[in-house]
Structure 1
Amino acid sequence: MVSKLWQKKSSQKLNQAIETFEVGEDYLLDANLVEYDIYGSLAHGRMLTTIGLLTLDEFDKIKLELKIILSDHKKGQFKITIHDEDVHTKIEMRLTEKLGEIGKKIHTARSRNDQVLVDTRLFSKVELLDLIGLTLDLTGKVLDFARRYEWIPIPGYTHMQLGMPSSLGMWGGAFVESLIDDIYFLKHVYDLNDQCPLGSGAGYGVSLPIDRELTRQSLGFKRLQLNSLYCGNSRGKIEANIISAIVSLGMALNKMASDLLLFTTKEFDFFEVADEITTGSSIMPQKKNLDVFELIRAKTATLLGLEISIKTLIAGLPSGYNRDFQDTKKFLMTAFETISPILPLMGLAIEKLKPKTDRLISAHKKEIYATDAAYRLVEGGMPFRDAYRHVGSHLDELDSFDPYEVIKSRDSMGSTGNLQLDHYNPLISKETTWVQDERERMEEHFEKLWD
């Protein structure tokens, strides 16, 4: 019996070194796709019954065996080996082993090309919903921080130098808004990914009367990816867009971590840090290190590398399937594995920071109020440029200001005195409800596949 889907006869053998190189880590990565390959097979099998290529009795037997495979997988008893090559081969061979001729029918009007596309799209839908949920959780915690310390002044910096008085409410609120933007970006790529490629075959359609709309509906995709060639060509492109959204989120976490690392140095000393989120040094007894922020910051480099790698890989490929696409799977899965753990860690760390108010106030040196002094002159009728030059040439004569009064006096929308932090609550609630609804809708579709 042949052991590869592409083998024409049992005597056809692939050099072992070539096989090891070509399969690579694919068989290991495909453990993440078993459930989704089963769902794709259920939808495809149901469609084959409607066009007379499977009987209902045959489909019932396939469903029963697929249910056993899923159960074995969840118990860790369904192992894909390097000789299986991938999840698609493993499942088809299992069906053939258990059901004989019936098992051989499941691949009718289907290619491993559109199988892996479907599996990856379903995997990405689930992972993106989880990621958006984690981002919403972090956004809520940062918003809580901004509210709790809304009126505590902190120096604002430009060019790494003292600029103008700011507030912890403004600092936290800035990251709330940044994270909400990233949620919108993740939702955009979720929508881009939410199109069904099943039935596109190897990229040029099939000559059987398949019903692609039925499989789309069965799997719960929002729309059909119509052009069969583009289904294949979009492999790597959609994954690259997902990774770009993840990179954007990673960059926000990077900036937050960089700020907090700076603000917790002895030179700044703006926050009291709980011991439970710090480590020490093996040689310097005084050290209290926030390694967690350094490593969160470092993960951005990993994510950027993945984005560059996948875009470089697909650049210049001709239309149609190319084996290069195989490596896009690892880039995508690694991106999710990299970003997901650091979101709750950032939330935990934010909750363990306590501002040192006296230190924050004393960091407001006299020159930080220069712009406010210029505005006072403007309010007295002096043109701004004259006021700017006057204050700039008389910095040693600056009056004293109260930082609390300064941040409260800035009442234009989005300024320290008018942050409108309550504006973000309904946005967070709306997106949280969307994630819950989308999860329920997806689970309903998966459950109905067994009917």
Structure 2
Amino acid sequence: MTASSNQPFFHPPIWDRGEAIDEAMMRFTIGEDWRMDRQLVPFDIEGSLAHAAGLARCSLLNQEDYESIQTGLNQLLVDWQAGKWTVEPGDEDVHSAVERRLIDLIGKAGSRLHTGRSRNDQVATDLLLWLRAATQELTQGIRQVLVAGQQLHRRFEAWPLPGYTHLRRAMPSTVGDWISAHCRAFEDSLLDLNGQSHRWRLCPLGSGAGYGVPLELDRQGVAEDLGFQGPEPVVSYPQHSRGRAELSFLTVVEGVALNLGKLAADLWLFSTEEFGFLELPVSMTTGSSLMPHKRNPDLIELIRANSRQICADREALKSILSDLPSGYHRDFQLIKPPLFRSHSTAVNMLELIARFLDKVEFRKKALDLASKDVKLAATEKLLQQAAAGQAFREAYRRESREFESEPPHNQEEGSD
């Protein structure tokens, strides 16, 4: 429905009691949730199929209604995948959208589906199912980067590259060592992701609004149907812990973003004329509207910037959860935007940086020239003298005097 019609923009909510509802209030409370909930459609239907099967096993749904609900939900999923419907601005949330369309499709039987559950345990379940899928997607993206990094290592493994501290030439290194360090960071992120699975081992369904459901439900069977180890035994915990699993996941995403930002910063720096160590892939650069000679590294600059945005999103999610009393609160609705946005951005950046690494070329001549800097050999020369029996500090002072003509550096005491 449009805002200009004589009807309110929103569909009658599932909690409607026939009383007047302030439209401005509904617009504000729905906000962008309808758009966020589009990502939850398949998981809400998956959870609803399992819930309906559990109701039927407990004789809370007769076989005819169960089969009708099952057929209707499967049809809704097919139609959604075909792009025939989605959550609309006038839908309060994905649960309302699915239930409304199910009733339109199969009639009165669809109104029996909500028996024994609340939207509170529904959305908690939907989000855990989403997190499981999101983790798999992020894992795949990290593996793409690792494959690209390993291929880059094979191509340029032994090529010299100055090692830097404080962004000043420090000791000899290689392109192979440089990319290996980045790969190790992504391997750590994979381990962090693997450690997330305990967050979705127990199913919230059957905990209701946060205090259980006074019906004999097959919670174990429903949990197993959805791939959980079992139901959450403490019925108040799914709402008490809302956002904790999401925050834990987003902390891992933040780590991935930090990896991407550091890699992007290196690629950006090494591609400047002042360094000249690598050639930007032409197909992954942009141009200037004024300066015809420019090839701009917009991709890696925006990866760097979006990595910071993901860090900000994690802080936003943490702030939403701070200092809330126990139980469900509508504040939890705002968990979704930073969570979904950060995940989508990270997956997109992983795919793009992998393609960038596949195409990047290092410049051997520039690397060889930079690596001939005599300062890079100073530490090895010092250690050889110490190994030959000279006192380390005496050799250190003698070696440092060779570079006294170098411009002084403002270094904090104790820095290396």
Q: Tell me, yes or no, whether TM beats 0.5.
A: yes
Task: Identify the residue that residue 413 of structure 2 maps to in structure 1.
Answer: none
Single out whichever of 187-196 and 122-131 deviates more from structure 2: 187-196
Q: What is the TM-score of this pair, normalised by structure 1? A: 0.84
| Distance in 1 of aligned mates of 2:366 and 2:107 | 76
Task: Identify the residue that residue 374 of structure 1 maps to in structure 2.
Answer: 382
User: Moved runs in structure 1, 4+ residues, more than 6 A?
Assistant: none
In structure 2, relative to structure 1, the CA distance for the partners of 1:349 and 1:207 (3 Å cut) is same
Displacement after TM superposition at 1:194 (Å) = 4.1
| Distance in 1 of aligned mates of 2:402 and 2:101 | 84
2:95 to 82, 88, 98: 88
Superposed CA deviations along residues 37-83 of structure 1, whole A, max 9, x for unmatched, are: 11111111111112111122221111011111112211222233333
Conserved in 2, the CA contact under 8 Å of 1:281 and 1:287?
Answer: yes
1:252 to 254, 259, 269: 259
1:291 maps onto 2:274 in alignment: no
1:386 to 387, 394, 408: 394
Displacement after TM superposition at 1:396 (Å) = 7.9
Task: Identify the residue that residue 444 of structure 1 maps to in structure 2.
Answer: none
Task: Identify the residue that residue 368 of structure 2 maps to in structure 1.
Answer: 361
Residue 105 of structure 1 aligns with an amino acid whose one-letter code is R
Q: What is the TM-score of this pair, normalised by structure 2? A: 0.91
| Distance in 2 of aligned mates of 1:147 and 1:387 | 38
Task: Identify the residue that residue 268 of structure 1 maps to in structure 2.
Answer: 275
Conserved in 2, the CA contact under 8 Å of 1:125 and 1:194?
Answer: no
Task: Identify the residue that residue 136 of structure 2 maps to in structure 1.
Answer: 129
| Distance in 2 of aligned mates of 1:42 and 1:304 | 36
Task: Identify the residue that residue 46 of structure 2 maps to in structure 1.
Answer: 39
Task: Identify the residue that residue 448 of structure 1 maps to in structure 2.
Answer: none
Displacement after TM superposition at 1:94 (Å) = 2.8
| Distance in 2 of aligned mates of 1:117 and 1:274 | 44
Residue 7 of structure 1 aligns with an amino acid whose one-letter code is D
Single out whichever of 241-250 and 229-238 deviates more from structure 2: 229-238
2:154 to 135, 140, 147: 147
Displacement after TM superposition at 1:339 (Å) = 1.0
1:337 to 313, 322, 344: 344
Residue 170 of structure 2 aligns with an amino acid whose one-letter code is G
Displacement after TM superposition at 1:288 (Å) = 2.0
In structure 2, relative to structure 1, the CA distance for the partners of 1:58 and 1:33 (3 Å cut) is same
Which secondary structure state, in structure 2, belongs to the residue aligned with residue 33 of structure 1?
helix
Displacement after TM superposition at 1:254 (Å) = 0.4
Which secondary structure state, in structure 2, belongs to the residue aligned with residue 340 of structure 1?
helix
| Distance in 2 of aligned mates of 1:311 and 1:301 | 16
Residue 209 of structure 2 aligns with an amino acid whose one-letter code is A
| Distance in 1 of aligned mates of 2:41 and 2:279 | 47
| Distance in 2 of aligned mates of 1:232 and 1:274 | 49
Unaligned runs of 5+ in 2: 1-10, 406-416
Conserved in 2, the CA contact under 8 Å of 1:33 and 1:119?
Answer: yes
Superposed CA deviations along residues 368-405 of structure 1, whole A, max 9, x for unmatched, are: 111000111122122322322221123489xxxxxxxx
In structure 2, relative to structure 1, the CA distance for the partners of 1:144 and 1:318 (3 Å cut) is same
Displacement after TM superposition at 1:361 (Å) = 1.7
In structure 2, relative to structure 1, the CA distance for the partners of 1:263 and 1:105 (3 Å cut) is same
1:51 maps onto 2:66 in alignment: no
1:199 maps onto 2:209 in alignment: no
| Distance in 2 of aligned mates of 1:214 and 1:111 | 18
Task: Identify the residue that residue 208 of structure 1 maps to in structure 2.
Answer: 215
Displacement after TM superposition at 1:228 (Å) = 1.6
Residue 341 of structure 2 aligns with an amino acid whose one-letter code is T
Which secondary structure state, in structure 1, belongs to the residue aligned with residue 163 of structure 2?
strand
Single out whichever of 99-108 and 68-77 deviates more from structure 2: 99-108
Which secondary structure state, in structure 1, belongs to the residue aligned with residue 275 of structure 2?
coil
In structure 2, relative to structure 1, the CA distance for the partners of 1:222 and 1:144 (3 Å cut) is farther
2:15 to 6, 15, 30: 6
Percent identity at matched positions?
A: 35
Residue 378 of structure 1 aligns with an amino acid whose one-letter code is A
Task: Identify the residue that residue 426 of structure 1 maps to in structure 2.
Answer: none
In structure 2, relative to structure 1, the CA distance for the partners of 1:194 and 1:376 (3 Å cut) is same
Displacement after TM superposition at 1:112 (Å) = 0.2
Task: Identify the residue that residue 429 of structure 1 maps to in structure 2.
Answer: none
Displacement after TM superposition at 1:223 (Å) = 4.5
Unaligned runs of 5+ in 1: 398-451
Conserved in 2, the CA contact under 8 Å of 1:156 and 1:164?
Answer: yes
Displacement after TM superposition at 1:281 (Å) = 1.8
Single out whichever of 123-132 and 313-322 deviates more from structure 2: 123-132
Residue 260 of structure 1 aligns with an amino acid whose one-letter code is L
Which secondary structure state, in structure 2, belongs to the residue aligned with residue 68 of structure 1?
helix
Which secondary structure state, in structure 1, belongs to the residue aligned with residue 212 of structure 2?
coil
Which secondary structure state, in structure 1, belongs to the residue aligned with residue 236 of structure 2?
helix
Displacement after TM superposition at 1:276 (Å) = 1.6
Question: How large is the RMSD of aligned CA atoms in angstroms?
Answer: 1.7
Residue 334 of structure 1 aligns with an amino acid whose one-letter code is R
Task: Identify the residue that residue 408 of structure 2 maps to in structure 1.
Answer: none
